[in-house]
Amino acid sequence: MIASPFRTADADGATFVVELSQFTGPLDLLLSLIRDEQVDIYDIPIARIAEQFLARIGSLALDEAADYLEMAARLLRIKAQMLLPRADGEESWEDPRAELVRRLLEYQQMREVVDLLEHLGEERRHQFNRRWVPQAADIVPISAPLALTLTDLLAAVDRVLRTTKEPMTHDVLPRALDVAGAMTTIRVLLTRRRNARWSDLIGQDAEPWQVLSVLLALLEMAKLGELRIAQSRPFGSVEICRDVVSEAA
């Protein structure tokens, strides 16, 4: 409810902002001219001031800012009104500058307050309270420490663990390869016949461990020189035969 009117104020960002200028507004500029020219604020030589005002906003490139243009127009209107003839001693004549003077005085009064606030704020800036937090629009409520017992915490953990899926576990069974057994089988086979094939050593429904055992046994025996392994052509069937040379040796 409070934030909304300020959100609409974003639209004002599109208006001309003269923050970087040395003047905060047309009244500020006008006051500075009056000071520079050392004229009486109650008897402003409006023609001269209006001229200077126009020259200044021209040189400061402020003549596109509506606020300054409005003041320029106001000054010129007052100047025109001052030129109108009037009967001497006319009681009802009202100085066309009166409204401008009132605003200037009001503005000047406010500038005094600005000086005061600037002074007070500058002094205060140098003092920190226990923990200075940059002021934000939304004051975040202070988060209180947790009011929680260990039992509560454990119960919560238990609830979480219950709801999670049953973990998948694999039982890895150690299954030793029987290389020695396979070697015995191969030796027995090769004593009965000279040649053998891979398919003779491995049954149709051999398990992986058996296949592996036979393979390792063959390699081992070939290394020991008990047999030779030969393949007549690529991807052809492997022939296993007794090593005649070593046998002879």
Partner 1 sequence: MTSLAKLLEAALFAAPRPLALDALATLDPDASPAAVSAAVDELREHYDVDGHGVELVEQGGGWQILTRAEYAEVIERAQVAVRPQRLSAAALETLAIIAYRQPIGRAEIEEIRGVAVGSVLKSLHERGLIDIVGRSEGIGRPLLYGTTGQFLEQFALRHLEELPRADELAIALRGAGSAVLAE
Q: Does 248 bind partner 1 (CB under 8 A)?
A: no
Rounded to 5°, the CA angle 227-229-232 comes to 145
Helix (H) or strand (E) holding 195: strand 195-197
Q: Cβ neighbours of residue 148 under 8 Å, at least 6 residues apart? A: none
Q: Which residues face 238 on adjacent strands?
A: 231
Residue 188 interacts with partner 1 (CB under 8 A): yes or no: no
| 199: CB partners within 8 A, 6+ apart | 237
Considering the rule CB under 8 A, would residue 153 count as an interface residue with partner 1?
no
Return the bridge partners of 196, or none: 240
> Which helix (H) or strand (E) segment is 241 a member of?
strand 238-242
Q: Which stretch binds partner 1 (CB under 8 A): 1-9, 168-176, 182-190, 225-233?
A: 1-9
Residue 109 or 199: the one with the smaller Cβ distance to partner 1 is 109
Site for partner 1, residues 104 to 133, rule: CB under 8 A = 105-114, 116-118, 120-133
Cβ proximity to partner 1, 16 vs 209, nearer residue: 16
Q: How far is the CB of 164 from partner 1 (least distance, A)?
A: 41
Q: Which two tokens stand for residue 160?
A: 């979480």
- Residue among 64, 84, 87, 136 that touches partner 1 (CB under 8 A): 136
- Pick out residues in 31-90 that bind partner 1 (CB under 8 A): 40-43, 67, 71
At 146, list the tokens: 């947790």
CB of 155 vs partner 1, minimal distance in Å: 33
Cα distance between residue 213 and residue 209, in whole Å = 6
Interface ranges with partner 1 (CB under 8 A): 2, 5-6, 9-13, 15, 17-19, 24-28, 40-43, 67, 71, 95, 97-98, 101-103, 105-114, 116-118, 120-137, 139, 142
